[in-house]
Chain A
């Protein structure tokens, strides 16, 4: 039966890796060794076994002295077996000696399996060892430390064979001063190395659950207590309700000087523990093993909801699935909460306290892509400006900032964003050089090109303050209303007087030019006081009395218009924000948001786009800012688009007049009808 040729795949793979073969390759080598042994021990197939061992040798021998641990052991075993197998064939016996020499060069302390080797081979091995190596007899005081021979850690054994020559030996143990010795080893001779360490401090040995907790000693992190404790910790683990493997391996804190100390253990999702280490633990110097610590879980609950559809929750970059998420059990602590929508994003730094529930109502905020500073030219204040731009994110609460990408120019970023729609807004700083020095133009824009510019100076203490203020500011879009217009009249009845009202409200018996004497049983002196009560009662019903007669009126929200040209706002941001809000809105709320989007577009003189939006505006309510308002604005936009649209403008103004209760600005603003009438009069030749 022909044997298949030995595969060269494994050596080839192993050759790619240095210094140690990866785990999968190691497993393949172990398998080869096991097969080789089986071939010899069960089949007596020496040649087959040798071929397998040669394969392992070819993979590991090139790495030779750099090997440690299991691979070193495999190489030593391979040498030993090849020596045993070569010894079986007289003409191969010289090879056996060479194998043994290689083995002793690699691992002076290795001993062959004398049950496998012949007595002849064993004698050759012993002779070689005696001729090649010397030995060092160790004594350790105290025991249990770490021995290093020529910088390599070895188990602290009583005796060790070493090649002839000078060797540097060191022995260390926590709490003791490390000792170094030089030993000169002669072949065939033995020398001694006696280590006697001096006590210089105490040590503390700590076991903690969970494994991986970070250890702080006197406020300084010493690393993490990893691994698993052995079964000997059972008596200590069981009272804590733990198995020993649930405790970390021993974490030794060395160099504990005399005095009081603090020990703190922290782990994510667990309550930290802080203990005072009394002086009795530190003087006189001694080794102490503390009772195991069990950290208790620290969790809270997080609920995230959103009126806008399609949000996905991320906490510290980890996805938790789509919204809503109700009572999600999370570790207590701080999180970067992000909700990603198809348009817009929501980001907030939150803290979930232990045993507490946190509720977040997310809504898509416009994403602001920070493009950085245009151009690479240096100018005074560039560094400070760049720092201010990098720190913009936490300062603006109404947008989600997307930082610059390394190596991407602003122009490249803009092209990418316009293709991917990953943001709603862009921000760019453009230096403007002039005879008086360099100023900076802060350019805020939507991806559709609605742009607003702010002039600033890079050396100002806060060069972005003008932008930050505007990005954190939005005009009110709603105000609470009872459906009546009120008036302050002095010298007659006390309280705000009713001027007029929604027909449905007036049908309740409300009379014009009579005062609301009380609201919810309390006297209200004027309109301002009533408005404050309404602000706290949105969605509720209030009881008003007029001439001693009570009536129940509902407090609803009436839409307001945004200003057309206020210097207090950043209009690209307003436009983007309104667009996102409208995605999640319905009915009159959506109509009002679209109307305000149209006004924002009118700010940018995009009358065509404003017109498109206004055509979609349909209110159910006919009072206040409503359909008639939209019709009036359509007329204004059509007038701006040129004389070819004058007939359409006339039509729009005429339709506006069909809504006698429609107003501009808010529920108490001027009626649309007279203005539409005047616009029509102006248009007549």
Chain B
């Protein structure tokens, strides 16, 4: 279209879509060029704020944090009333907080404030498209949407769940040991061959479900068409999505693996690298849309929380002792303010770290 109809009014949209395609192909520099061209066509047009937002993300993926921040601010300057401007503001704050200022994590106590001993063994957490938390309470065998401090049951009631994510529809998908996947209450479990001990799960932007297995040396990718394929991998103890792939933890190799869109490792970060003490196990991983990675870690000389950047660099860390908290933390998520929410299964509460 670009070659045949260079003056067509839809050129900006075409360039934008081409940029998204390059992004999904894992080529942020080519994506950046297309997003910049989409913006150039008409900086006041409807595509411009989206193109600029994506260009900013492409710059961050290319390793240019300052360039990313400039463009995010440009979105706010050029289209202050647009939803992209609000999104840009949030992404600026996350990046500056975690990667530039890096304040020492602080324990803010039970979250929501005042809520103690109110849960029934929370062991898993995930977020829906709006950033709201869905948590699985083991004693109840049910996932719940947490909104306004209140819990509402969502999805199928299934006991003994080991991995969970929230689909775009808002329904939690639940994985049981021995390869059963629960999507819809009405449909019943779906067997997943080759997966015996699910340890992490998410759906990527193409609708493919990634499943990590703590016992089998493979990463299972379940396509939207229902076809499953395996990617060779060490046994993985935790899994979380990144914008262009995933992050996974291998306790056996004591390595954090940053995977590309095909599931192939592109970066490996040894446990404890650039930290005062190392750890042995990663209990849970969480990520935010800017590519920051948070992990609940224990064993060795370090029990606590670690935050890595998208390039695997350690940004912040804190032991539970230093944070003044104790409990059995089994899951964590980033909230919209850049803080971390930890699920304490022994004290039946959630804790927020800023």
Contact = CB atoms under 8 A, between A and B. Distances in A.
Interface stretch (A205-213, A316-324, A662-670): A662-670
A527 B77 contact: yes
B55 interface: yes
A677 B40 contact: no
A419 to B, nearest CB: 31
A516 B44 CA distance: 29
B70 A565 contact: no
B227 to A, nearest CB: 34
B66 A665 contact: no
B55 A489 contact: no
A55 B96 CA distance: 110
A286 interface: no
Interface stretch (A237-245, A250-258, A435-443, A480-488): A480-488
Contacts of A489: 92-93, 96
Contact of B70 (A563, A668, A679): A668
A665 B69 contact: no
A511 interface: no
Interface residues of B, number: 39
B11 interface: yes
A671 B70 CA distance: 9
Contact of A513 (B9, B64, B71, B96): B96
Contacts of B254: none
B67 A674 contact: yes
Nearest to A565: B41
B303 to A, nearest CB: 28
Given A528-B77, A528-B80, A490 B43 contact: no
A158 interface: no
B276 interface: no
A360 B7 CA distance: 40
A interface residue count range (under 10 / 10 to 19 / 20 to 34 / 35 or more): 35 or more
A671 to B, nearest CB: 6
A131 B76 CA distance: 110
B281 interface: no
Given A499-B73, A668-B73, A677 B29 contact: yes
Contacts of A540: none
Given A500-B66, A566-B45, A678-B30, A488 B73 contact: yes
A644 interface: no
B314 interface: no
Interface in B243-261: none
A641 interface: no
A512 B41 CA distance: 32
Interface in B4-59: 6-7, 9, 11-12, 29-30, 32-33, 36, 39-45, 55, 59
Contacts of B55: 670
A674 B59 contact: yes
Contacts of A486: 73
Contact of A488 (B40, B70, B92, B100): B92
B40 to A, nearest CB: 5
Contacts of A669: 70-71, 74
Contacts of A682: 30, 33
Interface string B87-122: 001001100110011000000000000000000000
A670 B9 contact: no
Given A487-B92, A674-B29, A674-B32, A565 B11 contact: yes
A564 B67 CA distance: 22
A670 B92 contact: no
Given A527-B76, A531-B77, A563 B67 contact: no
A561 B44 CA distance: 13
Contacts of B59: 670, 674
Contact of A565 (B12, B32, B74, B337): B12
A277 interface: no
A564 B40 contact: yes
B326 interface: no
A563 B51 CA distance: 14
B337 to A, nearest CB: 8
Interface string A528-541: 10010000000000
A682 B29 CA distance: 10
Among B71, B80, B96, residue most surrounded by chain A Cβ atoms (within 10 Å): B96
Contact of A567 (B9, B33, B66, B71): B9
Contacts of A527: 73, 76-77
B239 to A, nearest CB: 30
B89 A488 contact: yes
Nearest to A677: B29
Nearest to B43: A563
Among A561, A605, A674, residue most surrounded by chain B Cβ atoms (within 10 Å): A674
Interface string A670-685: 1100110111011000
Contacts of B45: 566-567
A492 B101 contact: yes
Contacts of A665: 39-40, 43, 74
A411 interface: no
B41 A678 contact: no
Nearest to B74: A668
B82 interface: no
Contacts of B11: 565
A548 interface: no
A492 B62 CA distance: 27
A151 interface: no
B77 A566 contact: no
Contacts of A222: none
A674 B41 contact: no
B101 A513 contact: yes
A664 B73 contact: no
B77 A668 contact: yes
A563 B40 CA distance: 6
A491 interface: yes
Among B6, B62, B93, residue most surrounded by chain A Cβ atoms (within 10 Å): B93
Contacts of A675: 32-33, 36
B263 to A, nearest CB: 26
A489 B89 CA distance: 8
Given A674-B59, A674-B64, A485 B73 contact: yes
Among B6, B40, B55, B93, residue most surrounded by chain A Cβ atoms (within 10 Å): B40
Given A565-B7, A670-B55, A499 B101 contact: no
A602 to B, nearest CB: 10
Interface string B73-86: 11011001000000
Interface string A485-506: 1111111100001011000000
A678 B33 contact: yes
B35 to A, nearest CB: 9
A681 B39 CA distance: 21
Interface string B177-201: 0000000000000000000000000
Given A487-B92, A488-B76, A670 B44 contact: no
Contacts of B76: 488, 527-528
A123 interface: no
A682 B18 CA distance: 15
Nearest to A562: B43
Interface in A627-685: 664-665, 668-671, 674-675, 677-679, 681-682
Contact of A490 (B42, B71, B89): B89
A349 B57 CA distance: 52
A491 B43 contact: no
A605 B11 CA distance: 15
B93 A490 contact: yes
Given A487-B73, A669-B70, 11 more contacts: A488-B89, A489-B92, A513-B96, A528-B76, A531-B77, A567-B9, A568-B44, A670-B36, A670-B70, A674-B62, A678-B30
The 6 closest A-B pairs by CB, nearest first: A566-B42, A678-B29, A565-B41, A489-B96, A564-B40, A678-B33
23 contacts: A488-B73, A488-B89, A490-B93, A491-B97, A492-B96, A500-B66, A500-B70, A513-B100, A528-B80, A561-B40, A563-B44, A567-B9, A605-B6, A665-B40, A670-B55, A670-B67, A670-B71, A674-B62, A674-B64, A675-B36, A678-B32, A679-B33, A682-B30
